[in-house]
Amino acid sequence: MIKKEEVLEKLPEMGRVLTIEEREQVLDEMQVRAYRKNEPIYSEGDVPSHLLCLLSGKVKIYKDGYRAAFAEENYVTAAAAFEPSVIASIPIDLVRQLITRNPQLAWFFMHRLAVALGRSDARTVNLTQKHIRGRLAESILFLKESYGTEEDGQTLSVYPSREDMANLSNMTTSNAIRTLSAFVQEGLIVLDGRKIKILNEAALQKTSRIG
């Protein structure tokens, strides 16, 4: 069982800009739920009525998470737990209320949306302007930035399948396998099953830029 009091501490940056009373209200109306591995969280076409916050675990989102509720569109993607995960859901009406009363929260979300928009545009450039090697190198670096590494500081702490890597980098699974092998040959990375260990990050960054 998850204690709600512990949850708000984890609501990453959002909790910080809330007043005591607002926190109370969030705790009151929020639902917290655990998901098993591969359990669906939302499906394409669903109406987003809650702001979803991933508290722990990992989720495979096919496009995005918190965007749909604000755009007042339905989900165009689906999401499922990638490993056992805990998710808090806050009714979007409450979020709207809070934003109305707390301008700092409004800035918080605007800022995140604007940053996400910049990233999305950068990703478009990455996927359209770079060749296979550059795209795959970028994906590996992206995974490191997003999820970090194990204690050695080199091994990614996510273990994506070759197919996942292919989807992330917009290429066929065959080409992801082949190109990963090439990176191993060149001493950029080491593979151990699905574990990816970065040996030469500088060279990987260079590959991401020039292919």
Residue 171 to residue 52: CA distance in whole angstroms: 30
Residue 136 to residue 208: CA distance in whole angstroms: 7
Picked from a copy of itself, DNA, none, the partner binding residue 31 (CB below 5 to 8 A depending on kind) is none
Residues written for the chain: 211
Among residues 120, 161, 209, 210, the one that binds DNA under rule CB under 7 A: 161
Residue 188 to residue 95: CA distance in whole angstroms: 45
Residue 110 or 210 with smaller CB distance to a copy of itself:
110
CB of 167 to DNA, least distance (A): 11
Q: Is 4 in the site for DNA (CB under 7 A)?
A: no
At residue 197, φ and ψ (nearest 5 deg) are: -110, 125
CB of 205 to a copy of itself, least distance (A): 18
CB of 12 to DNA, least distance (A): 30
Q: Is 168 in the site for DNA (CB under 7 A)?
A: no
Q: Is 35 helix (H, G, I), strand (E, B) or coil?
A: strand
What are the tokens at 73? 């569109």
Residue 155 or 170 with smaller CB distance to a copy of itself:
170
Q: How many other C-beta atoms lie within 10 A of the C-beta of residue 33?
A: 13
Chain residues binding DNA by CB under 7 A are: 131-133, 161-163, 170-175, 177-178, 180-181, 191, 193-194
